[in-house]
């Protein structure tokens, strides 16, 4: 994990976001999250999958919103009073701009470096699933999502 933030050599720190879910957290680089919105979700009448929660209007786009917990088989999280939508930048061009992930509150900005991050995978995740791996970060065990796989699944279902 080497990021040049000042233009004068590699740094060992990466600004990241811990995104709260129901019963888990995601860890994403800060640059992947475009914005965090209030939950103004417009549910799809007949969703293609139970993890497709609906859509939200943002900057002239209609953005699909997912439940990461449902997609990863971690439970059946439902929106509640603290629910927000983290807009995640689409990386490969299959989706227009971004997609939304339901969160339980606001993401927490943190600095990640090699001293606080280590592998932690008590069980392997399916190769075709939305989780790359789980890591240990001091007292947290966040999941690293496979954004390419999530975009692929979304583009196939939409």
Coil, strand or helix: which one is 47?
A: coil
Percentage of the chain beyond pLDDT 70 is 91
pLDDT of residue 6: 46
Per-residue pLDDT, 145? 94
**Phi then psi for 78, rounded to 5 degrees?**
-120, 150
Q: Residue 11 has what pLDDT?
A: 66
pTM: 0.84
pLDDT digits (tens, 9 = 90+) for 124-133: 778 888 988 8
> DSSP assignment of 72-127, as one string?
HTS------TTEEEEEEE-SSSSSSSEEEEEEES--EEEEEETTTEEE--SSPPPT
Domains of the chain: residue spans and CATH: 32-105+119-157 (2.40.50.180)
Confidence grade of residue 3 (pLDDT, cut at 50, 70, 90): very low
pLDDT on residue 99: 94
Please report the pLDDT score of residue 1 as a whole number.
40
Per-residue pLDDT reduced to its tens digit, 52-68:
999 999 999 889 999 99
Q: pLDDT of 140-158, one tens digit each?
A: 889 999 999 999 999 988 7
pLDDT at residue 103 is higher than 50: yes
């Amino acid at each position: 994990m080497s990021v040049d933030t000042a233009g004068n050599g590699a740094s060992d720190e990466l600004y990241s976001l811990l995104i709260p879910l129901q019963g888990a957290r995601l860890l994403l680089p800060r640059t992947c999250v475009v914005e965090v919105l209030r939950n103004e979700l417009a549910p799809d009448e007949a969703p293609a999958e139970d993890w497709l929660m609906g859509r939200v209007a943002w900057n002239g786009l209609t953005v699909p919103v997912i439940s990461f917990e449902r997609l990863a088989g971690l439970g059946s999280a439902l929106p509640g009073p603290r629910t927000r939508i983290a807009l995640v930048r689409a990386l490969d061009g299959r989706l227009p701009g971004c997609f939304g992930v339901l969160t339980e509150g606001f993401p927490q900005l943190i600095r990640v470096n090699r001293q606080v991050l280590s592998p932690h995978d008590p069980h392997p995740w399916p190769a075709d699933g939305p989780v790359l791996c789980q890591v240990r970060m001091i007292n947290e065990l966040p999941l690293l999502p496979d954004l390419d796989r999530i975009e692929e699944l979304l583009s196939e279902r939409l």
